Amino acid sequence: CVNLGGGGCGEPRSPDIISTVEFNYSGDLLATGDKGGRVVIFQREQENKSRPHSRGEYNVYSTFQSHEPEFDYLKSLEIEEKINKIRWLPQQNAAHFLLSTNDKTIKLWKISERDKRAEGYNLKDEDGRLRDPFRITALRVPILKPMDLMVEASPRRIFANAHTYHINSISVNSDHETYLSADDLRINLWHLEVTDRSFNIVDIKPANMEELTEVITAAEFHPHQCNVFVYSSSKGTIRLCDMRSSALCDRHSKFFEEPEDPSSRSFFSEIISSISDVKFSHSGRYMMSRDYLSVKVWDLNMESRPLETHQVHEYLRSKLCSLYENDCIFDKFECCWNGSDSAIMTGSYNNFFRMFDRDTRRDVTLEASRESSRPRASLKPRKVCAGGKRKKDEISVDSLDFNKKILHTAWHPADSVIAVAATNNLYIFQDKIN
């Protein structure tokens, strides 16, 4: 467990609350963004014969301030520094690149290492002061000397002024040259080398804003087909678009929606059907969507209904009224796939998170907390009692803490290693088999 600032296990300071978690393509680096606009990168320790257990441990590699609070004077609006999303670019050389975004501005960061420094300059002394040209009598060839490793983060590009509404998603294309950014009503396509213009590829803003019935909640590029992307909406639908069909993808190629059961309709139906996250499987054959109570797996070839529906916390259905009153019903939970697409993970309340094995149809509830997560200790499955007589090891629905919620999770692209953000603490769990 890593505590990212805050007052220990007490009430966390708001800037330290983790707002996004993302592994890079190899899984050796893990980035977190927080409400204070900081990015913290962790690096996985390599195998060490003297410490056989150190493999899999992640230690802080670099920390930098990605975004600062700003003020839009034209609209009299404060722009939060909170990092909404981080996305890594595939590694091309020794340096690493990542995109980070707040509500309005996307930045491309370069993270590089320096372990040598040049000494013996002709025009300046070792302390950096310029030398008197008349004192230079011989030509020196500077030499490189080893120094303590320094990790530098520098902003290479700033993509600004393209979103009227708050950015909720960024996704790097499989061509590694372009990426998309989505806000409530529009999706823009960017080239990583061009900062002063982007192309609007989806625009669902009605001419009259009073006719607005839905907003875009998440968007993602297909992992292999560079012309295909999906976006989800607050009405519980997912649209798949093909950029080959037209420059403006307002007309979708596929439309995924589960027909509503009229018998279960209630005042909260529309709110809880809003999709908070959508993710393609690594194979590109399936996609997963998360709504308030469940996570669904869709086959891209079948639009009429999901292939699988996994209930995350069905016991909360009877509590929707109080969850509406305390605004928890609007929480946006994310979901993620394991490396082989055989299992999925998503968060819940009380610092619980859920894992579903798609092959065996088994699921488990685990808890990320200081008490249950001592190093090298096994996590015990937790059970919630929905009503009736409570067993000894069960926890009652009424005693769940709705302030402790796991919204952001990430799964290592190859290994059984997961990262779980619980408020201002980052937990990294590893499968015991390893």
pLDDT at 431: 83
Residue 266 binned pLDDT confidence (cut-offs 50, 70, 90): confident
Residue 378 binned pLDDT confidence (cut-offs 50, 70, 90): confident
Chain segment 23-61, per-residue pLDDT in tens: 999 999 999 999 999 999 999 988 766 665 556 689 999
Q: Does the structure show a pLDDT above 70 at 433?
A: no
Q: Does the structure show a pLDDT above 70 at 201?
A: yes
pLDDT at 55: 60
Q: Does the structure show a pLDDT above 60 at 12?
A: no
pLDDT at 8: 39
- Comparing 16-20, 32-36, 135-139, 317-321, the range with the smallest average pLDDT is 135-139
pLDDT at 3: 64
154 vs 152: CA distance, rounded Å: 6
The whole-model pTM stands at 0.88
Closest CA to 272 of 244, 293, 241: 293
Q: Does the structure show a pLDDT above 60 at 10?
A: no
State the SS3 of the chain. CEECCCCCCCCCCHHHCEEEEEECCCCCEEEEEECCCEEEEEEECCCCCCCHHHCCCEEEEEEEECCCCEEECCCCEEECCCCCEEEECCCCCCCEEEEEECCCCEEEEEEEEEEEEEECCCCECCCCCECCHHHCCCCCCCEEEEEEEEEEEEEEEEECCCCCCCCCEEEECCCCCEEEEECCCEEEEEECCCCCCCEEEEECCCCCHHHCCCCEEEEEECCCCCCEEEEEECCCCEEEEECCCCCCCCCCCEEECCCCCHHHCCCCHHHHHCCCEEEECCCCCEEEEECCCEEEEEECCCCCCCCEEEECCHHHHHHHHHHHHCCHHHCCCCEEECCCCCEEEEECECCEEEEEECCCCCEEEEECCCCCCCCCCCCCCCEEECCCCCCCCEEEHHHCCCCCECCEEEECCCCCEEEEEECCEEEEEECCCC
Strand order from edge to edge, sheet including 186-191: 169-172, 178-182, 186-191, 199-203
Q: Does the structure show a pLDDT above 70 at 6?
A: no
Closest CA to 188 of 196, 199, 174: 199
Instruction: Give yes or no for a contact between 434 and 416, defined as CB atoms under 8 angstroms apart.
Output: yes
pLDDT at 9: 40
Mean pLDDT, residues 255-274: 88
pLDDT at 52: 57
Q: Does the structure show a pLDDT above 50 at 144?
A: yes
